[in-house]
Amino acid sequence: AQKITQTQPGMFVQEKEAVTLDCTYDTSDPSYGLFWYKQPSSGEMIFLIYQGSYDQQNATEGRYSLNFQKARKSANLVISASQLGDSAMYFCAMREFPSGNTPLVFGKGTRLSVIA
C-alpha cells in the first residue's frame, strides 16, 4: 500500500499568490515525521520543512508552512507569495520512528509552475 499520496501531478499558480500542495500519508505508527523537499530543474533535492507527529503546532519556515491535520493524515504544504523561482517538483515524504531510524518514503511528487 502506498504510504505517501500526492494527488496533484501538476499545479499552476499566479506569481504572488498562495498555493497548497496536497499530501496524505498512511501509517499505524504513532511516532513519525513528515518532510517536504523541492527539486528544481537543476535536479538537486532541497529540504524545505519538517513536521513531527507529536508537534503541537504546524511547522513554518519562511514562506513555507505545513498544514498538519493528524486525524485526516494529511500534511499539505502551503507556499505563500509564490515566486517564479518556486517552479519545481515538490515531494512529500515520511519517516516512521518505531525504534531509531527507518527509511524515508516519498510520494510521486507535484510539479508546480508559477506564472508571471
Partner 1 sequence: NAGVTQTPKFQVLKTGQSMTLQCAQDMNHEYMSWYRQDPGMGLRLIHYSVGAGITDQGEVPNGYNVSRSTTEDFPLRLLSAAPSQTSVYFCASTATGQIANGAYEQYFGPGTRLTVT
Residues making contact with partner 1 (CB under 8 A): 9, 33, 35, 43-45, 47, 50, 52, 91, 93, 95, 100-101, 103-109
Neighbours of 4 (CB within 10 A): 22
In the complex with partner 1, the residue whose CB is nearer, 39 or 116, is: 39
Half-sphere CA count of 49, side-chain side, radius 13 A: 20
**Sign of the torsion formed by the C-alpha atoms of 65, 25, 27 and 97:** negative
Rounded CA separation 93/89 (Å): 13
Which backbone phi and psi does 62 adopt, to 5 degrees? 60, -120
Q: Tell me the closest approach of the beta carbon of residue 44 to partner 1, in angstroms.
A: 6
For partner 1, the closer of residues 43 and 62 by Cβ is 43
The residue (of 78 and 105) whose beta carbon lies closer to partner 1 is 105
Q: How far is the CB of 114 from partner 1 (least distance, A)?
A: 21
Minimum gap (Å) between residue 9 Cβ and partner 1 = 8
